[in-house]
Amino acid sequence: MAIRPILTAPDPRLKAVSTDVEAVDSAIRALVDDMADSMYAAEGIGLAAVQIGVARRVIVIDLDQKDGKKNPIAYINPKILWVSEEMATFEEGCLSVPEIWDDVERPARCKVEYLDRDGVKKVLEADGLLATCIQHEMDHLNGVLFIDHLSRLKRSMAIKKLTKAKKLEAAS
Ligand code: NI
């Protein structure tokens, strides 16, 4: 298990479309463990493998981090089977888009099929924050960031801010 650096926008690697995992083997379980470690270290609630530079369709989410208890759930090769017509708006942030938060509207509920850490097929119907989080992380697998859902003006302001922060970081 290892904490791996998280890529930040505008990094072209975040635009990659991730590919399916063929088999949930020990290498994939090690990837899941590294993702969980990296997510907790960065104080996030969700992470896609592409955010640590591995363009495979693997997501880790843990919305129940309380009292230091950790319960990371891996979603491997997730597919959205259904989304509700009803929409919901949450203020989103992203470990790959530091210091920026904004409202994003998405379907309020979704049904997702995936393989768990043991390679067992599961189907989950999610609502609330989990539904938003799953859709946000699945966007990453297709090279989409939450700022891509904002208006063109807001997105370009966000990219400008991120680029400036990177320049400052490089200069320091
Ligand atoms: Ni994200």
Query: What is the pLDDT, as a whole number, of residue 163?
Result: 93
d(CA 74, CA 61): 7
Q: What residue segments make up the domains of the chain, in order of their start? A: 12-171
| C-alpha 66 to ligand 1 mean position (Å) | 21
Evaluated on CA atoms 150, 155, 161, 165, the torsion sign reads positive
Place of tokens 């859709």: 135
| C-alpha 44 to ligand 1 mean position (Å) | 9
The active-site residue out of 22, 99, 113, 137 is 137
Contact call for residues 14 and 145 (beta carbons, < 8 A): yes
Residues pairing with 125 in the sheet: 111
The class level of CATH for 12-171 reads alpha beta
pTM score, whole prediction: 0.95
Q: Is 92 one of the annotated active-site residues of the chain?
A: no
pLDDT tens for each residue of the chain, 172 residues long:
799 999 999 999 999 999 999 999 999 999 999 999 999 999 999 999 999 999 999 999 999 887 778 999 999 999 999 999 999 999 999 999 999 999 999 999 999 999 999 999 999 999 999 999 999 999 999 999 999 999 999 999 999 999 999 888 888 7
